[in-house]
Amino acid sequence: MGLDKWLKSEEADKKPKSKKPAPSKVKKIESKNTTAKTPEKPKIKLTKYTLTCPNSKCKYQKIIMKKQLSEVDKICPRCKKEMKIK
């Protein structure tokens, strides 16, 4: 008699569960479409510079992605000599 109560309640708990559609996912898809419609900014073309120090003891190297190199970029931070551009 006592076991019947437990078995019936478990079956009753399983029945009311149902899948509900998620409206939040639909809203996210719509928001992505609106952002895609906005005009994109033109991309800035960057050039890759590889700089190496000519000093044989230093051998410092660095890679810079810039539109144009400045004079400060060309100076080696270790030995203060001008670096070669490859």
C-alpha span between 51 and 83 (Å, rounded): 6
**Structure tokens that stand for 72 in this block:** 């400060």
3-state secondary structure of 1: coil
Q: Per-residue pLDDT for the chain (86 aa), expressed as one digit of tens each?
A: 566 666 666 555 555 556 666 666 555 555 566 555 667 778 889 999 999 999 999 999 999 999 999 999 999 999 999 999 98
The pTM of the whole model exceeds 0.85? no
73 with 82: CB under 8 angstroms? Answer: no
